[in-house]
Amino acid sequence: MEDEMHALQQNGIWELVSLPAGKKTLGGQWVYTVKLNPNGTLTHLKARLVIRGYSQIYGVDYQNTFSPVAKMASVQLLISLAAINQ
């Protein structure tokens, strides 16, 4: 967890600021993953900090939304599968 927090700070992902009046913080949690080599031996342990953004309200907590972007190879694969299966 310390490595992840250090990496977030070094990359300028976030900074500590004061909470504006009348606003609530978003909850978060740590997600832990064990990474293994193909032979089953331990590669490393990974920790990610995730925020529960689903509790936000459009127009109150945020103004912009962004659409996920599909890779062209994924779109081509989907179209090919649809054509093969009619």
Name 65's Cβ contacts closer than 8 Å, sequence gap at least 6. 58
Single pTM value for the model = 0.46
Q: Which amino acid is at 79?
A: I
- Residue 61, pLDDT score: 65
For residue range 4-34, list pLDDT tens digits in order: 888 888 888 877 788 888 887 878 888 899 9
For residue range 37-85, list pLDDT tens digits in order: 999 898 888 888 887 767 777 776 677 777 778 889 999 999 999 999 9
- Residue 19, pLDDT score: 87
Contact 34, 45 (CB under 8 A): yes
Distance (Å, rounded) from C-alpha 12 to C-alpha 4?
A: 12
- Residue 4, pLDDT score: 81
Per-residue burial over 36-58, b if 16 or more Cβ lie within 10 Å, else e, is eeeeeeeeeeeeeeeeeeeeeee
